[in-house]
Structure 1
Amino acid sequence: MPHDAPRPRTRLFGRQEGDDRDRSVVAAALRTETVGGAVLLVAAVAAVVWANLPGREAYTALRETVPYDGTLGLGPLSFHLDLTLSAWAADGLLAVFFFIVGLELKREFLAGSLRKPSQAAMPMLAAVGGMTVPALFYVAVTFSAGPDALRGWAIPAATDIAFALAVLAVIGSGLPSALRAFLLTLAVVDDLLAIIIIAVFYTDTLELGYLAGALVPVGLFALLVQRRITSEWLLVPLALLAWLFVHESGVHATIAGVLLGLTVPVLRPGREGVCLATSIEHAWRPVSAGFAIPVYAFFAAGVNFTEGGVGEVFADRVALGVMLGLVGGKVVGVFGTTWLLARFTKAELDADLAWGDVLGVALLAGIGFTVSLLIGELAFGAGSETGQHVTAAVLFGSLTSAVLASVVLLRRNKAYRLVAEREAARTATA
């Protein structure tokens, strides 16, 4: 490009020039999530390292910094925004992540893999089993620890799709595409159930006035996007206002992101032949995967092992329940539900898949990082002793699941490669 040539303007909500190079939404999502998973891993490792160095007090001070110590007044309304940086990351930045989740949910239910119940039944029910069984594992371990410990029952129920897709993309280049579709469908349903759990079970107080007030900016946002009005100067302020009302209502503020994502049209193509949900996702997914989630992980994953050590973590029933739920409960839930459906109903496993593939995906589902950490904070409070043990347990459990899944899927990947090589050799000699 000549030096004097004007640079193309980047539209925040518009379709970008390079979008035509993306062969499919799934392929684009896999590439972005893979990079996002790597950035997320770096952020988590950096947090753990800094939290255990001699200068760890600076990390704690950074997490507890309150950038705005006051309230925001809008006429007769006031919004309490005296949040720490850690809370801003959990309540604010994760709303971007949940906005992308809302877009994915609507697209998959209206135009994607969940549109036909007959095709989606098996991974959908596998997702339900993959959330129910880990919760039962947790309850079985922590039942005698008292009612306070039971607040964390949903921690091992969540799956981190960014990490899971990153692992699958790195080690599963020869695996069938049906396996990726199975994991994506399972993850979408998992996200939906996690949203419902957060909204229903982790809302302590509810201010109906503020919750009703949130419907106004959400409704205006919906009206604009339905009419294909995509000016960021209109949509972003409405999104922030919706976030403020939901935050003040007592419902976790990330639910505002989901509500806004669900309003974006999916089925009707826009002026450029692409649905608005796809255009917006292309614009905002890098923000979510490359910034919002890693920053949240940086503030959430910094558990200190030097005070009390790993022994205290394994002695805590809550932490044990989380680890067993992620590593054991997810496998039993996902794999067991799939096998029971294939054994006792008319549902059939995809012809391209083997049971070893399903086992690998079931292990991948035990990677429960982002949403598991969020639920842990909601259940026990950020920075509390139990909360620190939960963070360590999520890290240990997710890492163990990732390693076990890698072992299984690498073997499956090798088997598929050998079959492909034999087929190629047979074709060449025919």
Structure 2
Amino acid sequence: MVTAERGIVIVGAGLAGAKAAEELRDAGYDGRVILVGRELTAPYDRPPLSKDYLTGAQERDEAFVHASGWYAEHDVELHLGQPATAIDREAKEVVLADDTRLPYDRLLLATGSDARTLDVPGADLAGIHVLRTMPDAERLRSTLRTLGRDNGHLLVVGAGWLGLEIAAAARGHGAEVTVAETAPTALHAVLGAEIGSVFEDMHRAHGVRFEFGAQIAEFRGHDGMVLAAATRDGEELPAHAVAVAIGAAPCLALPRGAGLELAERDEGGGVLVDEQLRTSDPDVFAAGDIVSAPWAALGGRRLRVEHWACAGDGGPVAARAMLGEKPEGPATWQAKVPYFFTDQYALGMEYAGWAPPGHYDQVVVRGEAGEESEWMAFWLKEGRIAAGMNVNVWDVNEQIQQLIREDRPVDLTALADPAVPLTDL
């Protein structure tokens, strides 16, 4: 049992950590809850940083998970701007950078990820951005506004979800945009060429230029300010600013240093957890970007998923498990399906499942694919739905997730027919 003297320590003041603290109090836990974060700001949602906040449709304060007084009102102790540096599993203590030691009965690791950077000459030039934190977003939004006012040019490195959202925001501010990507199509690693090309066409229609197969070899500048990027093929891509969006790396220093078991590389390389998000130490749990968890809805495949829903769902699941509860159904990780959403221009989309290239053999489109039309796409493996996406169609994603969970062959003609309700499948 958890004792009030030591309590529960949560390392990582992001969405997963904040939602875990909320769930602990909602469950009636009245012991100590200590939330440790390396950033100086209270927990906030990250999706707005590349969506509504970056476009200017949302202001900074709207991104916070809880109102400013929530933590004091619920007796959650905040240690912000104090990163954890070590875990003493024998003493059951978390060590902070200032040598403070926080004792725990149960520990939740929700340390998230850091933005990947390019290790090339010139990477330290001013004007090169990443987007992971709120300060990152504030700097990039200011840059996009300046580029739009001055008819400046933004180079986005990476045509994944983040890169395309930045590109859409930049065009909304009026900046010129070029996207450089090593893969042959946009979103190739997550959607494949068939549907990735739809997003590519949409961005081209909004004036975005693409350079595929482009590997950045160096950044070039003048007086310390970036002016261009050079590819390995010798092409020079001019830019008044650069946004590097090439993925995120899980923050695994703490669990690795504590000797917790990590997953294999083909399973995401994160912290190995069970369906209750318990690590190889029975008193240590993990949630969010850093976990490699078994997804029953995907046949038990172990994956590390960095999406918002993974953190938002994982925090509460871990909280209940830390209290010794053994819930069934949707309260466990067993019922979850990887989920992601995006907003770009007039397109709003939800995606559920997992079907990167090499893990599907057919794509079925329901409706006419386009930016402003209503349509869906399904990725199938041996006649079974592995992933589905609804575009500008709402209140159907749970039905798509149920089709994935059922894991049985579907009628392809009915699947492609918008007149057939998904529930009939």
TM-score normalised over the length of structure 1: 0.25
Question: RCO (CA 8 Å, sep 6+): is it higher in 1 or 2?
Answer: 1
TM-score normalised over the length of structure 2: 0.25
